[in-house]
Amino acid sequence: GAGVSQSPRYKVAKRGQDVALRCDPISGHVSLFWYQQALGQGPEFLTYFQNEAQLDKSGLPSDRFFAERPEGSVSTLKIQRTQQEDSAVYLCASSTLFKRGDYEQYFGPGTRLTVT
């Protein structure tokens, strides 16, 4: 079946621009995660949704970062007034119901954001 998809795959933004990154999780997956992966580093947690509820946003690096999942399926990560340090790959992952012990996360291909 279809896996997690993300769009766009690549995004170049000028410093100060706003960007919106989209994630389509696997159909029926309740849990959705956003990660930021800097070059040569492991994924770092940004935020977590269970259905439409954002239960954890402790990893968002600043108030310029905002995420939503209004209908409990597609999610959007928005970054306002982008800065060069925002350049990274943004990964989305989904899973069935993380809380219940179904821990495997399925990752999307990521969006590579470059801020110039």
Partner 1 sequence: GENVEQHPSTLSVQEGDSAVIKCTYSDSASNYFPWYKQELGKRPQLIIDIRSNVGEKKDQRIAVTLNKTAKHFSLHITETQPEDSAVYFCAATLRRNYGQNFVFGPGTRLSVLP
Write out the residues near partner 1 by the rule CB under 8 A.
Answer: 4, 31, 33, 35, 40-45, 48, 50, 55-56, 91, 98-100, 103-105, 107-110
Q: Which is nearer to partner 1, 82 or 105 (CB)?
A: 105
Which of 2, 97, 99, 78 is closest to 34 using CA atoms? Answer: 78
β-strand partners of 112: 10, 89
| Least gap, CB of 15 to partner 1 (angstroms) | 25
Q: Is the link from the previous residue into 109 a cis peptide, with omega within 30 of 0?
A: no
Q: Which of 2, 17, 6 is nearest to 89 (CA)?
A: 6
Residue closer to partner 1 by CB (options 47, 82) is 47
Nearer to partner 1, 40 or 70 (CB): 40
The SS3 assignment for 69 reads coil
Closest separation in Å from C-beta 19 to partner 1: 20
